[in-house]
Amino acid sequence: MINTEFSKCISACTNCSLICTECATSCLKEKDLEMMRECIQRCLECADICQLCVRMQQHNSPFLKEICELCAKICEYCAEECEKHSHDHCKKCAEACRQCAEECRKIAM
């Protein structure tokens, strides 16, 4: 694989992890916390897999393709939930998740 592919994926994963964490934190401040519960959970899971994906790319793990594919799936899963909400932080998160999924799939191919 070309280093620029890793670089783009690492950047997208890092960005997604940060934005997902930000979204989860912002969701915790919303008035209807129960309505945001699923969004918070998915954002936290997504942030975690994105961080793992970055580390595995740095190690050039033999499981990188599988990890990137899983990361893409979890990013899509998070984006689907965030898109259900009208909050700006959720919209921003869904966009970051979609971009990350796209970059991860390039590595997973």
Strands (E), 34-84: none
pLDDT at 50: 98
Instruction: For the domain made up of 3-108, give the CATH fold.
Output: Substrate Binding Domain Of Dnak; Chain:A; Domain 2 (1.20.1270)
* pTM of the complete model: 0.92
Other C-beta atoms lying within 10 Å of the C-beta of residue 81: 21
Structure tokens at 102: 């796209």
Where exactly are the structural domains of the chain? 3-108
54 Cα distance to chain centroid: 11
pLDDT at 109: 86
pLDDT at 4: 66
Per-residue pLDDT of the chain (109 residues; tens, 9 = 90+): 446 667 899 999 999 999 999 999 999 998 888 999 999 999 999 999 999 999 999 888 999 999 999 999 999 999 999 999 999 999 999 999 999 999 999 998 8
CA distance 109 to 92: 26
